Structures are given as C-alpha cells and as structure tokens.
Structure 1
Amino acid sequence: MKIWLCICLFIFGISTFTAQGIDKEKLLEYYESQRYADAAQYLQSIYPEDTKDIKALTQMAYCYMMSGKLSEAEKNYIKVNAAEPNNIPVLFSLAHINSRRGNGTKAKTYLLQIIQLDSLNFNAYRQLAGFGDTAEARLNYLKKANTLNRTDPDVAYDLSATYRELKQYQQAYDILKTAIDADEGNFTLQLAQLPLANQLGKYKEVIETGEKLVKEKADANVINEMGQAYFYLKEYKRCADVFKTLEDLGIQNEGTLYYMALSYRELKEYDKATEYAKKTIEEGISNHTALYYIALAGIYEKKNQFSEALEAYKRGLMFNNSSAIYYHLGLLFEFNLKQPKNAVTYYNLYLKNKPDQDKEKEQIAYAKARITALTSKT
C-alpha cells in the first residue's frame, strides 16, 4: 500500500514537470521498479546543476535518499529548504538523513524546528526521544508524544521502559495498560507489562496473562515471570514445576534456580532444596552470591546440619561482609551450636556492619538485647 501511494504521488509530481524533454513514462518505470538511483540520475541529466525548480529538486532528493545516496539527497533537500523554509516534510527528510548518517545533533536540530512550527507534531516528539542520552532526557518527549496519542504501541512501549528505568513502576504499568486496552492482541505490550505487574504485586494478573501468552509461544521471559508470581502466591509446587521447564530446556539462570531452591525449602524437600541452592551458586558468582549462601545455610539449619550451615555462612562472607550473615551466625552459635561467646562476637559484628536502621529495627533491638543477656551470664 505504501509503495503504491508513493507511486501515485510520484505520478502527480511527474505531471507537474515543465522541463522540455522529460520522458514521463521512463520516470514512472524507474519508480515502479524502485530504481531510484536511475531516476535521480535521469532527472539530474535534464536539469542544470544550479536549477531552482523546487519540484525537480524535491524529486531528485527523494530518489537519492531512497537509493541510499544520502549526501546527494541532503544537498538537494537543503536547496529546497533554503528556497522554501519551514517546509515540515522537507525538515523531516533532513532529520531522517542525518539520523541515518549518525549525525544526531543535526537531526535533532531539524526536529526541534518542526515542533516550533507545529507544537502538536506527534512524530517529531517521538523521534526526538530517540536522541535522548538519559532516561530523563527521553522522558519529556515521550510524555508529550504519548499525550498526543496514548494508544500508539511504540511510544507506549518506549515510555513505559523509560519509567521502568527510573523505577517509576506504577506509571510504567499504567501507560502500557492504556495501550493494551486499545489493542488487546498486542503480545509485545503484554510481555513488557508482566515484570511490572510482578513488581507491583499483581501476581494473579501475571498468571492469567502469562497463561494466554504461553499458548501463543512458550517464551522463557513469560515462564520466568509466572514462576515468580507463583512463588509470591506461595504456590511453591507450581513455582518449582514452572522453573523446572526452563531447566529442562537448558535456559535456567541463577535467579530461576534460586526460586527453585526456596520453593523446595518451603515444601520441606530439603535434599532438592540443597541441590538447587548449590546449582544457584555454581550458575554464577554475582553480587547476590552472599544471599544464595544464606539460603543454602538456612536449608542446612532446617536439616539440623549445623556444621554445614556454619561453613555456608562463612563462604558467604568471602563474597560480601553481609550484616545478614553476621546476624544469622549469631543465632546459629547461640541456639544451635551453644557457643554464647561466639554468638556475642557475631551479634557485635552485625551491629558494627551498620544494618539498615529502618528495615532491620527488630533485628537490631534483638541483637543488642542478646548481647546484654549473654554477656551478663559470663
């Protein structure tokens, strides 16, 4: 459809040519067969280098642009722009050419000219967002474009991604919801919304949407989000089963294995929990490794394997001086290993490690109380 529309416009453009010797049928043949370079060369052979014929310059510029000869296209469009300033289609073409040539600064300049001429130009705002170096720089242009057309899927997707980058999850979710309501069959938007729904605690919605999406395609990202939702709904068996499908496909990662370990722990299948906690650690050493060792140590404690738990906690400290590990070591030494002096040592290390005063208020108070109680006994 777009090709035939362009052909019709080109035919109209040909009909306006007044230069002597123009073979309109030849031009039309070039255009219909998409031989844009030949069309440009033919027009160039008819018109002099210094022609001021706007229609001819515009046609040559367009043909050069379509044939990939961007420098020639730009030269002709600049001539048109000089003769007829503030021509929005010409400014868009110049922005497009400079964008393709990697000159973002010039492209942005042309787009800014467009919105000065037309403050409600949706496409200009949408394209300007692409030249933002930061999320904050992209946000204003995307918000404006989205205001002009709330159901455009590309803008909704990009704006939602920007909000998500800024950790504004509710806004990101709401933007996608509006676009999805207008196009319920848009699976790309629904897939983008799943992690946001999980982040906002909409776990049942994640399951419902996920089940629809996997019927179309067994996407690993969908399965991953569903697995997390099952975990937070405390449906641990379904969580483990869902993530097992990823493992069977060989596309597991440390996150999926971690959820499996925790799920099996909650199901009191401690041998499997241990197996998957170890697999989590083996999958990759990362910033979360200390957390994984805490999980493994907790499983060992459930199995009354206290020496193994102690070893796991100490291994965790090799990766991160985690205040949580010091706290758990204090509990382990006090209640399971019956070593109060060591318990006091680790409670003190916990407090010295500056735990979060708001999030760990109860643990801080407990550690202080136990230090006082245990010290008074010695």
Structure 2
Amino acid sequence: MMKSLILIFLFLVSCIVKAQNINIDREKLLDLYQTQRYAEAAQYLQSIYPPDTDDLKALSQIAYCYMMAGKLPDAEKNYLKINALQPNTLSVLFSLANINSRRGNTAAAQFYLLDIIKLDSTNFNAFKQLANYTDSIKLKVKYLEKANRLNVTDADVAFDLALQYKYLKVFEPAYKVLQVAILADTNNLILQQAQLPIANELKKYKEVINVGEKLLRNGGDANVVRDVGKANFSLKNYQKCIDLYKRLENMSMQNESILYYMSISYRELKNYEMATFYAKKTIEEGISPNVPLYYSLLGGIYEERNQNTNATAAYKKGLTFGDYNSIYYRLALLYDFKFNQPKTALSYYNQYLKSKPTAGEKSQIDYTKTRIAEITQPKSSKTGLTSVQN
C-alpha cells in the first residue's frame, strides 16, 4: 500500500516537473519517501519550486510531506495557501481540521468541519468528527444522529450515540442503535458490552445474562460482572447475584450499589447474619471519608460568626462519621473558653491526643498538653490560663 502511494506521488511529481520544466532527482525523492523522511522530502521539494509558486499539486505535496513529518505549522501554511487559491476543496479542509485538532485548537477544527458539511451535507466523516469537538450534549447527539443515519453500521458512531442516549436516559433508541451495529458485526464484543446496562434498564434480563455470560467466557471485565449480577438479582437468582458480586469484592471493586444488592440477596435467602454484615458495609461505603472534614469546615465558619452552639453541633455531627483530630481540638477550645466548661474541655483535649495528631500539629499538641496540666492541677497552684493556641 505504501509503495503504491509512493509511486502515485512520484507520478504526480513527474507531471508537475514536466509542466514546469523543473529538474528533479526522482531517485532521491523516492529514497526519502521509502525511508519516511518526510521533512527532508518537503524541504527538497521547496528548494525546487519558487517560494511564490501557485502550483496546486506542488503545494499539496509539500503540505502533505510536512503534515506527515509532524511539522504542523509548515503544513498549515501550505494548506492555507492552497485554500486561498482554490477555496472549498474538501480534502484541504479536512487536512486543516486535522492539523488544528492535533494542535489542540478544536474551535478551528470545528470551523473547517462546519465548512465541509455546508459543502456536503452527507459527509459522514465530518459529522463523526464534529461530535468530538463539542461539549454540548444536544449538538453532540445531533451530529452523531446524522452520522448514524449516513452509516448505521459504523461501530464507533453507534457506541458514542448510544452512550449519549444512555446519559439522557433514552434507553430504547440506544438499544436499537447498538442492535443494528451488532447485527452488522456479531463478533464486536465492545458493542455487546455497551448494550448490557441498557438492556438491563429495558428489563431484558435474560438477554443480559445470555450475552453477559458469553462475554465473561471471553474475558469480560468488571462492568460485565456488574450488569449480569444485576440481571440475576432482578430475576431473583439471588445466589448467582451474590457469587458474581463476590468476584468484584475480591477484586476490591465493590461499591455502595453492589453491597446493597448483596445485602438484599442474603436477606431474601434468609441469611440474616450476612445480610446485616453487608448492610453495614453498604452504609460505610456510602459515607465519604471526607464528611468529617466538611463538618469541620462548617463548624469553623460558625465559630467565625460567633455562632458557637451551631459550631459545636456541626463538630459533633462530623465525629459521627469518623474521627478527625482537629474537631476534637476545636471542641476542646470551645468548651474551655466559650462555654467555660473545663471538665468537658479536658475530655476533648485527651481525645485529641489519643487521635494521634501529626508532627505538623506540634504547636497544638504542645498547647494541649500544657492546658491539660493546668486544668488538672490543684486550684491553689493555678496562676492563670495559657493563651489559646489556634
């Protein structure tokens, strides 16, 4: 294939050379192409033709060489010159779109692709590429639908369109789009896997299990296990659901939903001990480890507004989701100096130290130890309070 392209290219060069009576070393050019030294080929061609040449074939070959060499600014410069001399050439517009896409200038790439569909409203590749250059779900769906109508069997477009439909919770069209593409390529496992969660939503549970088990025999991933497990749960095959979801748990790929279905499955099988165990795990999985941090933030805001009762409530709420040493420290200070309850403060100071604060909190640790000593020493020996360390 590459050899054929090289021969075609050299034939075109020969035509240009004869037309302009230009001397060219065809053997040198052939060697540069065969060894894929495209940058040298472009420079060699540019050295032969005058800088102000308006020969479209020569400019096209130079631009192509630069693009293949990855010298995108030089390629764009030559393609722009061609576009100025002969506007609205689809191949040139596609090349300009490709160059800008590779340089991260998606707005420019989109501009050239839109020009293409103005010239050719049935250009499949233009619509397919446009879908990749927009953040608008509405536009993305519009372009993908147009591309899909032009080529219903293209797997990439079918996959992307179904994914957008799924996001919009439009499951029936998503299923149909994938089904057409799958019938055209019955060995496309990617499309079959993409259809599983959609088929689950449409309550095609037996189909999910049949297709999913085939995929699992061919090395299907965790998503397939999840979808097949859900289908078995829906058909009340609770033990099968548990067996599948345990595979995910063994791979540390469980989530709140998986654990929830496991708990219910055990409950339906009257295994209340395991049902309880997984119900607790579901609760733990559903709680973000950052929740205490968020309540600490809220409590601090209340403190800054002198809403100390609200601050205390926020801090205590945070502790119900897990230990967070700075919350113990803030509660100790509140009870010590805002509510004048040193005994309660002492409890929180001690809990702060037990929570093993890091070395980066040395000043708070030192202050806490000093304050504990002051609170616990006999009243007659107290000389005053240490200033609060924030």
TM-score (norm 1): 0.73
Measure the CA separation in 1 of the matches of 2:177 and 2:231: 22
Partner of 1:83: 85
Q: CA deviation at 1:151?
A: 0.3
* 1:186 aligns with one of 188, 191, 206: 188
Whole-angstrom CA distance in 2 between matches of 1:166 and 1:181? 24
CA distance in 1, matches of 2:188, 2:44: 45
Q: RMSD of aligned C-alpha atoms?
A: 2.0
Partner of residue 336, structure 2: none
- Alignment length, in residue pairs? 290
Q: Give 1:283 deviation, angstroms.
A: 2.7
CA distance in 2, matches of 1:238, 1:159: 32
Secondary structure of 2:273's partner?
A: helix
- Identify the range of structure 1 (143-152 vs 27-36) with the bigger mean alpha-carbon deviation: 27-36
Shift, 1:129, TM fit: 1.2
Question: Counterpart in 2 of 1:98?
Answer: 100
Match of 1:301 in 2: none
Measure how far apart 1:6 and its partner are. 3.3
Pick closer, same or farther for the CA change 1:278–1:94 going to 2, 3 Å: same
The alignment partner of 2:133 has SS state of: coil
CA distance in 1, matches of 2:113, 2:91: 11
Q: 1:150 aligns to what SS in structure 2?
A: coil
Query: What is the aligned partner in structure 1 of residue 254 from structure 2?
Result: 252
Tell me the equivalent position of 1:197: 199
Q: Give the whole-Å Cα distance in 1 for the aligned partners of 2:110 and 2:29.
A: 33
Structure 1 residue 42, shift from structure 2 partner: 1.0
Q: Indicate conservation of the 8 Å contact 1:173/1:196, yes or no.
A: yes
The answer for unaligned runs of 5 or more in structure 2 is 292-316, 322-390
Of 216-225 and 12-21, more deviation after overlay is shown by 12-21
Instruction: State the partner residue of 1:174.
Output: 176
Cα deviations by residue, 1:193-251 (Å, 9 ceiling, x for unpaired): 11101111111110001011111114111001000000000110100011111112232
Which residue is equivalent to 1:270? 272
Compute the displacement of 1:281 (Å).
2.2
The alpha-carbon deviation at position 128 of structure 1 amounts to 1.2
* Structure 1 range deviating more: 20-29 or 187-196: 20-29
Q: Which residue of 2 aligns with 1:300?
A: none
Q: TM-score, length-normalised on structure 2?
A: 0.71
TM-superposed deviation, 1:256: 1.5
Residue 7 of structure 1 corresponds to: 6
Which shows bigger deviation, 33-42 or 202-211? 33-42
Shift of residue 280 of structure 1? Answer: 1.9
Residue number among 139, 164, 186 corresponding to 2:166 in the alignment: 164
Percent of pairs identical after alignment? Answer: 58
- 1:4 CA drift (Å): 4.2
Counterpart-to-counterpart distance in 2, 1:272 and 1:11: 74
Larger Rg: 2
* Aligned match of 2:70: 68
Residue 335 of structure 2: aligned partner: none
Match of 1:211 among 210, 213, 218: 213
Is contact 1:135-1:165 (8 Å) kept?
no
Partner of 1:122 in structure 2? 124
Structure 1: gaps spanning 5 or more residues: 290-314, 320-378
Deviations 1:110-139 (A, max 9, x none): 111111221111111111111221210111
What is the match of residue 231 of structure 1?
Answer: 233
Correspondence 1:21 to 2:20: no
Describe the SS at the equivalent of 1:16.
helix
Q: Is the partner of 2:16 in helix, strand or coil?
A: coil
User: Structure 2 residue aligned with 1:143, among 125, 142, 145?
Assistant: 145
Q: Distance in 2 between matches of 1:10 and 1:192?
A: 42
